Amino acid sequence: MSRRHLPVAALFEAATAGDRAALARLLSLLERGGAEARDIGRLTYPVAGRGYTVGLTGAPGAGKSTLTSATIGHLRSMGEEVAVLAIDPSSPFTGGAILGDRVRMQDHATDPGVFIRSMATRGHLGGLSLATPEAVRLLDAVGKRWILVETVGVGQVEVEIAGKADTTVVVVNPGWGDSVQANKAGLMEIADIFVINKADRKGTEETRRDLEGMLELSDLAHDAWRPPIIAAVATERRGVDELWSTVLAHRDFISSTHELERRREFRLREELREIVARRLEQRARVVLGDDRWTELQRGVVGHHIDPWSAADEMLGPVGA
């Protein structure tokens, strides 16, 4: 019997025992969404919670993937195992398999202590907002202690996802402070740690001052945890030790203040809200039946009825 046809429970058991192909198959099922995704969720939910999630985000080209790769190297040198989830469409980890790009940076691809996976969620009704926490929970449930989630720091959904890690690292470059090219406000809100990557270029100190200034303005400077700013050159692994010790310091801080609990609770509430919304949408289709749905859609397209009145009619039988 090939893995493709194993039931979810058997796949989960195999993945927990270290079978990478079984884990990959489960992640593919999560990407697709549907009934299997739900079954996987029910299996993973009770056993997850021991892993720790670190989000890395920043503008395209900031060097997130190189920093992720250097961080993997650092963790491996300490004997730690690590899983990476790349949900950044510009990440080399995601491979850009479509249209012929090649993965460039899988230095760690043959290392059994490293599991790298990119996410694509075309089939998943909830998209990245639902698939990402499900994938993180699966990696956690099969025993991954460190889970790095790389997302691009541009875009509504992506910045939200980045902000839902236990510790969120925002990667910027020298000169960033001076430019208007990044979603600063959104990134400032979610940052626990800043990394100024490519710090061998000029403008590093100005960028540091700029970040300090923005921290002052945003009141984050006066919180009990003031986001530290780390200079790094990821291509040479400079600053990576400091980054990781700062991640550990942040973990200790949020664990001792119960902020970690609060963050995880908030994430669960958000996920529940998302599940309910998607479930309702599916249920509405069933209740209404395809004919009525199609007819009302036609009415809207033909300008016989406006979309809000059509929605009212569609939802008449639901929850009335």
Of 14 and 288, the one with the shorter C-beta distance to a copy of itself is 288
| Distance separating alpha carbons of residues 276 and 293, to the nearest angstrom | 20
| Distance separating alpha carbons of residues 135 and 165, to the nearest angstrom | 13
* Residue 74 contacts residue 241 (beta carbons within 8 Å): yes
Residue 22 Cβ, how far from a copy of itself at the closest point, in Å?
Answer: 22
Contact call for residue 269 and a copy of itself (CB under 8 A): yes
Of 24 and 311, the one with the shorter C-beta distance to a copy of itself is 311
Contact call for residue 98 and a copy of itself (CB under 8 A): yes
* Token digits of residue 243: 């980054």
How many chain residues are in contact with a copy of itself, going by CB under 8 A?
72
Residue 129 Cβ, how far from a copy of itself at the closest point, in Å?
Answer: 9
Under rule CB under 8 A, which residues in 120-139 are in contact with a copy of itself? 127-128
Contact call for residue 316 and a copy of itself (CB under 8 A): no
Residue 263 Cβ, how far from a copy of itself at the closest point, in Å?
Answer: 12
Contact call for residue 220 and a copy of itself (CB under 8 A): no
Question: Residue 80 carries which side chain, given as an amino acid letter?
Answer: E
CB atoms within 10 A of CB 110: 7
Contact call for residue 286 and a copy of itself (CB under 8 A): yes
What DSSP string runs through 34-79?
Answer: HHHHHHHHHHHTTT--SSEEEEEEESTTS-HHHHHHHHHHHHHHTT
Q: What are phi and psi of 284, to 5 degrees?
A: -60, -40
Of 80 and 281, the one with the shorter C-beta distance to a copy of itself is 281
Quick one: which of 59, 72, 84, 232 contacts a copy of itself (CB under 8 A)? 59
